[in-house]
Amino acid sequence: MERTFAIIKPDAVERKLAGQILARIEEKGFTIAGMKKIQLTRKQAEGFYYVHKERPFFNDLCAFMSRSPVIVLCLEKENAIADWRTLMGATNPANAEPGTIRKDFAVNIEENSSHGSDAPETAAFEIPYFFSALELV
């Protein structure tokens, strides 16, 4: 069993799409091991996205991620990281496959409705950034 980290981003939460995204997650066989709705501070967003701090989009990304609540998730299943990335679709919704979360729900490349760990090492950082061991079942 593998775990991955996911975020339903502000654009999707604001448009009340979380339920539809959660339904897709469960339909694809994921177990939700942890879930909570939170409001990130600017500092928390900067800490989470620190790997992008030198990129030109860093400030806009942190402002976006802290503008309104998000839903953070720890998802579990065999091949969870790759399967979640497939379900999300390409970062740019214009390039995403039909039926993916980003193709169906994203506003644009910046407001693309979802985030997911891209590797086991990333998941190992991201999951405990938001969840204690006691919060995962």
DSSP states of 78-93 = TTHHHHHHHHH--SSG
From 12, 89, 115, 116, the catalytic residue? 115
Q: Cα–Cα distance between 116 and 4 in angstroms, integer? A: 7
> Tokens 């990335």 belong to which residue?
85
115 is catalytic: yes
Kindly report the number of other CB atoms within 10 A of residue 134's CB atom: 7
Among candidate residues 113, 123, 15, 6, the one with its CA nearest the CA of residue 64: 113
Look at the chain and count its residues. 137
- Active site amino acids: 115
